[in-house]
Amino acid sequence: MRVGVLTGGGDCPGLNAVIRAVTKSLIHHGRCEVIGIEDGFDGLMSDPPRVRPLDWDGVSGILHTGGTILGTSNSANPLRDEATTRQVARNARELGLDMLVVIGGDGTMSLAHGLQRRIGLECIGVPKTIDNDIANCERSFGFDTAVATATEGLRRIESTAYSHHRVMIVETMGRHAGWLALESGMAAGADIILLPEIDFDLGSIIERCRERERRQRYTIICIGEGAKETGASLTVREHVAGSPEPMRLGGVANVLRERLQPHLKSEVRATVLGHLQRGGDPTPFDRVLATRFGHHAAELVIAGASGRMVTLQCGAIGSVAMSDVANVQRTVPVDHDLVVTGRDIGICFGER
Ligand code: F6P
């Protein structure tokens, strides 16, 4: 069998661990030939395609490294027009691909699902994202590392907030899902956590900051990039035309700073953690999860179970139909136990 592997969408720590596990498992069990596609779907759309062989030695020593040795793209869209989709079909045929393992987020899963339906390219999905927002998957690899990085960022901000008696707003990534803000905010002991799933009321934030001005004299606010004030619109950093995910978020921490400062005695500062959260070596948890995901993807390839995405549910590795994942986002339920816990220990979620 000839099996292609590509990494699509924004990168995250643990991609190389999947590439290593899937390649080694396929070579070991399936006597397969593995081909790496460069720069996500971009490499499969170009003429000629950009590919490289993946062998045992070529994927050795990459388990602990961040990023992806194959490169990625979060703007390539193989379904953007007929000619592009035909080119992908031609490339897949000429490369002799029997199956394609796509490692990506919900956007990449939707594209893989679409390709399988449109041109019959058989795909297996592996869920990755620091946003942890893939449907039917309780944890994607990359998330644990991003939580650790964001938590460390918040803790570093806290010491300077304390010294200067300031209100510090720290913005995490996560798009329309608040998992990263919620877990890092909880782990760092933030005083206020603002999630995309709960529109915030400025008055309640002012009230909490004033109360802390009187007692603790500094306040840490952790805000997800997709959060917004009641009645306001999302803070969009840029639009990328033709991309599967055209709206890039970012900057809401600065918007909140402007809104908050006139009402407080303390100085208010904003920090956007940005791509720091996507970089660096994966945590041991992510290395192990990515290895389990990669191994199971290889098992699905060997079983010929195309159209499935590897998943983690109730701690067990399994798979779900890609059609159940494509174009669906897993957001934080407002009654999630971590939110309830937060409320009960006095964290403000910006609710009136
Ligand atoms: O989906 C992963 C992610 O890091 C989001 O959290 C963030 O909104 C987006 O990608 C950033 O994309 P870019 O790398 O294009 O700025």
Structural domains of the chain in order of their starting residue, each with its CATH number: 2-141+282-324 (3.40.50.450), 144-277 (3.40.50.460)
Q: Which residue has the tokens 């989709």?
A: 85
Whose C-alpha lies nearest to ligand 1, atom 11? 248
Radius of gyration of the chain (CA): 22
What is the CA(22)–ligand 1 centre distance, in A?
Answer: 25
Phi-psi region of 274 (alpha: psi -120 to 50; beta: other; left: phi over 0): left
* Residue 251 CB-half CA count within 13 A: 10
Identify the pLDDT of residue 30: 77
The DSSP call for residue 48 is: S
Q: Which of 203, 243, 219, 225 is CA-nearest to residue 166? A: 219
First-residue to last-residue Cα distance in the chain? 59
- pLDDT band for 323, please (50, 70, 90 cuts): very high
Q: Which residues pair with 311 in a beta bridge?
A: 318
Identify the pLDDT of residue 334: 97
Q: What is the mean pLDDT of residues 293-319?
A: 97
Type of residue at 183: E
With a 6 Å cutoff on the Cβ, whether 74 touches ligand 1 is yes
Is omega for the bond preceding 48 within 30 degrees of 0, making it cis? Answer: yes
Q: Evaluate if residue 204 carries a pLDDT over 90.
A: yes
* Residue 280 CB-half CA count within 13 A: 19
Contact 130, 145 (CB under 8 A): yes
Type of residue at 148: A
Type of residue at 308: R
Contact 99, 110 (CB under 8 A): no
Q: Evaluate if residue 218 carries a pLDDT over 80.
A: yes
Q: What is the mean pLDDT of residues 210-217?
A: 93
**How far is 135 from 113, CA to CA, in rounded Å?**
14
The DSSP call for residue 257 is: H
The mean predicted confidence, pLDDT, of the chain is 97
Burial of 249 (0-12, 13-18, 19+ CB in 10 A): buried
Identify the pLDDT of residue 341: 98
Q: What is the mean pLDDT of residues 324-331?
A: 91
Of the ranges 72-81, 150-159, 186-195, 241-250, which one carries the lowest mean pLDDT score? 241-250
With a 6 Å cutoff on the Cβ, whether 176 touches ligand 1 is no
Q: Which residue has the tokens 């199956």?
A: 99
Query: Residue 321: helix, strand or coil by DSSP?
Result: strand
With a 6 Å cutoff on the Cβ, whether 210 touches ligand 1 is no
Contact 88, 76 (CB under 8 A): no
Q: What is the mean pLDDT of residues 238-244?
A: 85
What is the CA(123)–ligand 1 centre distance, in A?
Answer: 24
11 catalytic? Reply is: no
**How far is 176 from 228, CA to CA, in rounded Å?**
10
Give the nearest ligand 1 atom to 240 CA.
15
Identify the pLDDT of residue 242: 79
With a 6 Å cutoff on the Cβ, whether 132 touches ligand 1 is no
Catalytic residue among 131, 133, 144, 286: 131
pLDDT top residue among 347 and 245: 347
Backbone angles phi, psi at 4, to 5 degrees: -90, 150
**How far is 290 from 63, CA to CA, in rounded Å?**
9
**How far is 153 from 188, CA to CA, in rounded Å?**
9
Identify the pLDDT of residue 29: 87
Distances (CA, A) of 123 to 19, 112, 200, 254, 310: 15, 6, 41, 41, 11
Contact 59, 23 (CB under 8 A): yes
Q: Evaluate if residue 246 carries a pLDDT over 90.
A: no
Q: Evaluate if residue 327 carries a pLDDT over 90.
A: no
With a 6 Å cutoff on the Cβ, whether 128 touches ligand 1 is no
